[in-house]
Structure 1
């Protein structure tokens, strides 16, 4: 099969398309013939040498894929064979085939085509596990997601609205702001022109849950903005890794700060998240309430260009590879 690896860490040119042996499924695994695979910022970090795959994971990049189950490992459910499916991966999506634990595979939501579905699994799993499961967002609460124009952001806006929350987001352009409003955001703040803390105060809003991709740079402002008993969930470190935390402010608000990572979680935890997606998010996808926003599709040979677009942050929604 053809697959993308990084032989030596570096820029987009470090991505190399190579011929590899087809993956063989282990016990409880299946092999998916990939139709599409999502491109994520974590892939960029891995390419640069800052985000190594977990022990035992394939060196092939890619954390999500959509395709057809073509091979079963020992103990895998026979009903999966031939099924159109989406998969949450520890790696391997940038390839024509990928092996994955069966518990991390979900049926393709009705009404979604395989070329689009490659961009749903990682974002949906990240959003649901952090906003609903960790953040415990409920109807009537206020939700803030930073980077509303990203794949995570566009998914988070839609899921939070479906849960009945008021949604605030930050973006870096007027075009992204327009998209976020169309997806249901109640307040959109252009961080290049406005201070999100001041805008929240101006509109009398205090977030009950914040989903943050920035880390250190926004830590103090996020804690200041939180409502009493608020929950700050940090899933990215684009703004640095070290910052001072005012514990007294956190204590007085009876608030919490949680940092999570999806890729390194045990298989059993990922399977639980995938099962929750099928129960709670897939019906929203199937009735049109939630949909993956695809910015552009790239051939496997154009993977370097996909990474350039990702790093430039000029896209809105997801970038998808078509192996």
Structure 2
């Protein structure tokens, strides 16, 4: 099979296209013929070694993807052969990611994908959608699971609604019944956040964004899903309701976070940091189940018309795909691995 691998940490140029024998699934595992591989910032961080050193002599990157199960490990449910699935956390503690014609994952990390839902959607789920679910389910008095109506009466602020996670926050929050506000940096990103389903979009570079948000939510925002905590904390606190939650999954821009302890004490702020690797298997499993339900309801479409442009590369262009992610490409970067999707 064709596969992308790297043997040393470094920039995108450490990635190589090679021929390898297809992996063989063990007990509790499935092998998937990958159709589309999703690329996330975390894939580049793992490749560069910025998060942790390599744990294997050779790694095939990418956590997320979508394809068809073609082999089941010993003792597994053989009826799943031929099932269309989306994959998450493929390289968590393993060397076999989705940037290859075949990959092997634990069976529970291959989630059924409805026949009418394209592989592009499946490959765009994973890290963004599960992160968004986590951001929306950590509030002290909020739901631990998402379903239609679970966030009814709540106001969610999706910072950076044109990004992959922000896009998923908007879609999941709206599916769950919240009023969704998104902050963006300009008209083009405002268009994307609106297409994703945000009820209100605020350009944080114009006027008085806190006043604009308070006009929409006079009692304050219940949950902020935050992508740039250092840059946005002052705005978040200006619009957060008492006992509200700031769920932060990134600090884009790297600005240091200065915390006014007394102000947060008075607000009873919940400041929740989150990353999927350490969220725990129970939280990840619940997120995957709820995201699958949202996919089944048609709540997580992708593409320009749905607020998430797709930026595509062939498998032998994976180096360029990583460069695109690192240069801040707007939308979702995908790698086409093994041909077309019959659902599209």
What TM-score bracket applies, with the shorter chain setting the length?
A: 0.7 to 0.9
Query: What is the TM-score normalised by the length of structure 2?
Result: 0.82
Is 1:249 equivalent to 2:254 in the alignment? no
What per-residue deviation string (whole Å, max 9, x for no partner) do you get for residues 213-251 of structure 1? 223333343233311111111111323375232222222
Is 1:117 equivalent to 2:132 in the alignment? no
Which aligned pairs between 1:156-235 and structure 2 lie closer than 5 A?
156-193=169-206, 196-201=209-214, 203-205=216-218, 206-235=220-249
Match of 2:102 in 1: 97
CA contact 1:94–1:321 (8 Å) conserved in 2 = yes
Q: Mark the CA change 1:20 to 1:177 in structure 2 (over 3 Å): closer, same or farther.
A: same
Pick aligned residue for 2:156 from 132, 140, 143: 143
What per-residue deviation string (whole Å, max 9, x for no partner) do you get for residues 42-92 of structure 1? 122223321237957972211111011112123322222221111112420
Cα separation, 1, equivalents of 2:247 and 2:210? 17
Cα separation, 2, equivalents of 1:10 and 1:194? 42
Q: Mark the CA change 1:100 to 1:194 in structure 2 (over 3 Å): closer, same or farther.
A: farther
The alignment covers a number of residue pairs equal to 318
Report the aligned-residue RMSD.
Answer: 2.6
CA contact 2:138–2:272 (8 Å) conserved in 1 = no
Query: What is the TM-score normalised by the length of structure 1?
Result: 0.87
CA contact 1:90–1:264 (8 Å) conserved in 2 = no
What per-residue deviation string (whole Å, max 9, x for no partner) do you get for residues 160-218 of structure 1? 11222121112233212112112221222334445643532454552110111223333
Query: Does 251-260 or 3-12 show the bigger shift?
Result: 3-12
Which segments of 5 or more consecutive residues in structure 2 lack a partner in the other structure? 92-96, 144-149, 304-308, 338-344
Q: Mark the CA change 1:292 to 1:39 in structure 2 (over 3 Å): closer, same or farther.
A: same
Query: Does 117-126 or 1-10 show the bigger shift?
Result: 1-10
CA contact 2:8–2:54 (8 Å) conserved in 1 = no
Q: Mark the CA change 1:231 to 1:58 in structure 2 (over 3 Å): closer, same or farther.
A: farther
Which segments of 5 or more consecutive residues in structure 1 lack a partner in the other structure? none
Q: Mark the CA change 1:305 to 1:182 in structure 2 (over 3 Å): closer, same or farther.
A: same
Match of 1:33 in 2: 33
Cα separation, 2, equivalents of 1:111 and 1:152? 23
Cα separation, 2, equivalents of 1:311 and 1:191? 23
CA contact 2:158–2:169 (8 Å) conserved in 1 = yes
CA contact 2:7–2:57 (8 Å) conserved in 1 = no
